[in-house]
Amino acid sequence: MTYLKNGNKQTLTTYSVKELNESIGLLLSIGFAPKFILKATVSKSQIKKGHLWLTLSDGQASIDGVAWSSTIKSLKFLPNQDDGVVIIGKLNFWESQARLSVQVLDIQTSISTVLKKFEIVKSKLLKEGLIDDSLRKKLPKYPHSIGILTSVPSSALADMLRTSKERWPLTKLQIIPIPVQGNNENELKSILSKLKINNLKLDALIIARGGGSREDLMLFDSEIIAREIAALPLPVITGIGHEDDLTIADLVSDHRSATPTAAIVDLLPSREIEKYNFLQNKKILKDYLKRFFHNKKKFLLTKKSFFQAHSPRLLIKHKRTKINYMVELLNALSPEKLLKRGFALITDESGNSIYGIKKVKKKDKLLIQFSDGKITVEVNSLNYDKI
């Protein structure tokens, strides 16, 4: 079709509305990348007829987005309003309406949203007192049975099983499969809730997830999951992500380990260290018993010597010797012995011994005892010795 402009003829292409929209669609399919990454904030999110409809914005512009119901089933994260997201998508152009939107192929939360949610939940639980070092339960020293909550199969689980076998094979491991990312709060909550009864007779629980991006760990920033962990009656150890990753689950657990493997190391004793300690204790006990029995033997020998020195038989012997000596001494000093040697015993008529002349008067009658008899005499005179 031609028309005049400023006296010049110009030829322009003529379209119907349908033809125009088809041409625009063709240009978009030829001139735009088939897939791309879009960073945005969700200003609106709703499910209609099984499809997820989004309004995506960066604060300066906006565009619609849609995740079809067939895609939603494979998504690990469904965003809410004000969530920051990273979308893998492609352009979706409806020719009948000339309407453009982003078709979502995959969607993940952005790190800013993760950290924002983390701080919100952390602040709330701190105010309620659920994050408190004084609430942490002590880990068992020699656990008989522990539960490992992680994805099955996984490299993290394989490392944990290997480490457990190397360190302390006496502990029984109960493997409890759980989802470790995505919109699985209700499923994980149900598993944790059942463990409160502890029908498995567990001594401790390990919640583990291998490495990944911080965004992949959002399930463990859930307030719901945190409350379930805090309500468990047995000690809970977390080994989630990498050493630098910190989740809400780590804050409410009784012990946080840097990695899943570190959780096994922190919970189970080392048989090599325990063996060394046992041998050291054995040596200490042996030395102690040696000293103990040596001291006891020495004590008993001392007691033996004491009892030998103070035995009744020896005491009787000593007493008998002493008595014999006393008897001999008494015999040697007895009056009879003296009388036999020529001495005499003088008494008055009353039997009182006379030891000196001062107690004698003239005419007193005295009794003189010799070894072979007695005589009675009367005092006729008194002769005093001159001093």
Q: Do residues 18 and 72 share a domain?
A: yes
Asked whether residue 87 is domain-assigned, the answer is yes
Render the burial of 74-93: b for 16+ CB within 10 Å, e for the rest.
ebbbebeeebbbbbebebbb
121 CB-side CA count, 13 A: 23
**Domain of 132: which CATH number?**
3.40.50.261
Query: Among the three residues 58, 82, 109, which one is the final residue of a domain in this structure?
Result: 109
The reported pLDDT for the residue numbered 139 is 96
> Are 125 and 212 members of one domain?
yes
Query: Do the beta carbons of residue 345 and residue 368 sit within 8 Å?
Result: yes
Last residue of a domain, one of 45, 80, 109: 109
What domain count does the chain have?
3
Which three-class secondary structure state does DSSP give residue 382? Answer: coil
Domain boundary residue, one of 222, 244, 269: 269
140 with 23, same domain: the answer is no
What's the pLDDT at 376? 86
Instruction: Give a yes or no: residue 314 inside a domain.
Output: no
Would you say residue 274 lies in a domain?
no
* Mean pLDDT for back-to-back runs of 10 residues, the chain (387 residues): 64 82 82 87 91 91 93 86 89 85 90 88 95 94 96 94 96 96 90 93 96 87 95 96 92 96 96 94 95 93 85 84 86 74 80 82 83 84 74
Q: In this structure, what CATH number is given to the domain that contains residue 73?
A: 2.40.50.140
Task: Identify whether residues 197 and 60 lie together within a single domain.
Answer: no
Residue 357 within any structural domain of the chain: yes
For residue 329, is it within any domain? no
d(CA 355, CA 145): 106
Check: pTM over 0.85? Answer yes or no.
no
Q: Where do runs of H (alpha helix) occur along 217-354?
A: 223-231, 248-252, 260-267, 271-309, 312-333, 335-340
Residues 135 and 232 in one domain: yes
Residue 3 pLDDT: 62
Q: Residue 363 belongs to what domain range? A: 344-378
